[in-house]
Amino acid sequence: MDHYLIEHCAPTLASIKTANLFRVSFDTQKNLFDAVRRWNNTLRDKGVLCFCLCLHEHTALIYVVRMSRLQNDLSDPAVGEFLSSFGYTSQNAIDALLILRQHLMQSGTFPHEIGIFLGYPLADVKGFIINHGHNCLCCGDWKVYSDPENAVKTFRRYCKCKQIYRKMWEQGKDLRQLTVSA
């Protein structure tokens, strides 16, 4: 299952993105939780943690995060004010993740504020909500509603990172070797 992390989380592993999210299929919950535990044992001292945000019958939503970056993102007063309008009562990363998980489980869909937890710009998260996902200026890893030039540069960096990580993975580098310390 390590290939999922390489394929979907390379920018986070490379420490150029706050977090990534991916859905994974599993045969048993034990195997899933064993994989998440192993990933955490491998990546924790590099500054990366993995969480199972949502669990369904045979799929799970895995959140891979650099907690220090998330805490920094959440410490922005504008982000705190924005999240408080969605019921987030704390700017502490762990507390906020627990509320996000609760929102995911209650709604069954992605709460729009999830973009904040993935490191998307606040203006783009707000733009997505206001425009109901329409009228974006450009689209890549997320829908962009402000500063498309910078967003396109970021998309290219993420794409290049994924290509490099895929190649290094195929050449035999393991997950720990591919994760930058922070």
pLDDT in tens, 124-174: 999 999 999 999 999 999 999 999 999 999 999 999 999 999 999 999 999
**CA torsion, points 142, 145, 147, 153, in degrees to nearest 10?**
20
User: Which band of pLDDT confidence, cut at 50, 70 and 90, is reported for residue 65?
Assistant: very high
**CA torsion, points 180, 118, 133, 148, in degrees to nearest 10?**
-50
Q: List phi, psi (to 5°) of 156.
A: -65, -40
Neighbours of 119 (CB within 10 A): 22
- Provide the CA 51 distance to its chain's centre, in angstroms: 10
Instruction: For the chain, give the percent of residues with pLDDT over 90.
Output: 94
Tell me the sheet residues that pair with 50. 64
Residue 171's pLDDT is what? 98
Question: Is the pLDDT at 108 greater than 80, yes or no?
Answer: no
All residues at 6 or more sequence positions from 52 whose CB lies less than 8 Å from its CB, including other chains: 32, 33, 36, 60, 61, 62, 63
How long a stretch of residues is the chain? 182
Question: Is the pLDDT at 110 greater than 90, yes or no?
Answer: no
Q: What angle do CA 90, 94, 98 make, to 5 degrees?
A: 80
SS3 84: helix
Q: Are 142 and 8 in contact (CB under 8 A)?
A: no
SS3 76: coil
Distance CA 158, CA 177 (A): 18
Q: List phi, psi (to 5°) of 23.
A: -100, 135
Taking only the tens place, the pLDDT of each residue in 30-43 is 999 999 999 999 99
